Amino acid sequence: MSAVTNIIRSLMNIFRSRTRSVLTMAGIAVGVFSVVLISVVGTVGTAQVSKTLVTMGVDTLLVQAAENSVSVTLTDSDVSAVRAVDGVTDVMPLMASMTEVKMIGRRLDCYVWGVDKSADRLISLEAEHGRLVNNSDAAARLRVCVIDEQFAIESYGRSNVVGKTLRMFLGGKYHEFEIIGVAKSGLSSLQGMLSNIMPGFMYIPITTMQQLCGRTTYDKLAVKIDDMNSDGVIVDKVTGALDRKNGHTDGYICNNLLSQKGQLDDILSIVTTALSLVAGISLVVSGISVMTTMMMSVGERTREIGIKKSIGAKNRDICAEFLTESVVLTVMGSMAGIAAGLFVAVVGCFIAGVPFVLNVGSLVLSALAAAAIGAVFGAYPAYKASTLKPVDALRM
């Protein structure tokens, strides 16, 4: 018998016992649904985290004093020295501090960044309302701030809070700041998902932060370069230029945050794969129900098998027919599971406001795994059917 004939007969036999077949396919569908959903969530999550990290400035080099270099500092002259290095396109000094703000009678934790006018180029900061920190703010050391959109929504219940004031704790006491802008940064989506873990972000002129903290130095330098693939050479140039200028030896370290992002992507992929394998165990369990269904089918169709053999059907024909039915049953169940998994994933991405990312490889792998399970667990019932003797089968 041809493969097409076997498939047609398999479909007829499946629909002959609808209830039993539907329950068996449901078991397969649940297993595939779990694998697909976990895979899509992992893929979307990895893509979202990667995108967020890049907009945070992860595609830059971060220069800071080495941990064992207590006397090493970063100053305006160091910024100029790094900017003069061949291959460096932009440099931004940074100060950062975890602190607390008071807004409309509430105390909220926040991470405040001291930035200059380069912030929009190095951390992809974009003004949703109002404006960003500029040169005039830094020159006058104004007490103005830009807050993250998610932080504004959490505080006021809306995003446009330009003109409002808040009190920020810096240098041992609270200072009043005017909100001049609300930033729609890459952090917003991540904060929305991790609002209970990640604090709000706030940006103030770095000169204002220096004044309030009583400092003239910086914590770090964010360095943008022409080609991230040549970062090794430029890292040596940057640290070498700073050491020569300040008379230090290995006084500075320069990290390529993009390589660390790659390591994070690998970790997320491993976690997603591990969770998918755990969910795949349910597929193996559902294979037992496939074997049970096929054994019952063999018992019910014993006389039919005897008639087919008496008119010339060979053992391999009977075996192929039952094996095909088992594979078709699992494939139909896997298709239903894939469709349900994709539907839930698309709806979830729409509700969360993140772009849907499809991992075609995982879908194909899930379908192939289901078909393989159908073949493996359907092999024994198919063998039992093929070895029935026509005389014994006709007696039943």
pLDDT in tens, the chain (396 residues): 566 776 777 777 777 777 788 888 888 888 888 888 888 887 777 776 666 555 554 457 778 887 665 667 888 888 888 888 888 888 888 888 888 898 887 888 888 888 887 766 666 677 889 998 888 898 899 999 998 887 788 788 888 999 999 999 998 899 999 999 998 754 444 444 444 445 678 889 999 999 998 888 888 888 887 765 555 677 888 888 888 888 888 788 877 655 555 566 667 677 777 777 777 777 777 788 888 888 887 777 777 777 777 777 787 877 888 888 888 888 888 899 889 988 998 888 888 777 787 778 778 888 888 888 888 888 888 777 777 776 555 555
Cβ neighbours, 10 Å, residue 274 = 12
Beta-sheet pairing, 200-205 with 106-115: parallel
Instruction: State how far the Cα of 219 lies from the Cα of 65, in Å rounded to an integer.
Output: 8
Instruction: State how far the Cα of 361 lies from the Cα of 272, in Å rounded to an integer.
Output: 14
pLDDT score, position 204: 92
pLDDT score, position 35: 82
Burial of 110: CB neighbours in 10 Å, binned 0-12, 13-18, 19+:
buried
Query: Residue 308: which of 321, 297, 296 has the closest Cα?
Result: 321
Range list of H helices, 166-230: 187-193, 206-213
Instruction: State how far the Cα of 220 lies from the Cα of 236, in Å rounded to an integer.
Output: 17
pLDDT score, position 313: 72
Instruction: State how far the Cα of 276 lies from the Cα of 270, in Å rounded to an integer.
Output: 10
Phi-psi region at 259: left, alpha or beta (left = phi > 0; alpha = psi -120 to 50) = alpha
List the structure tokens of 215. 């400092």
pLDDT score, position 166: 92
Instruction: State how far the Cα of 153 lies from the Cα of 268, in Å rounded to an integer.
Output: 29
Burial of 247: CB neighbours in 10 Å, binned 0-12, 13-18, 19+:
exposed
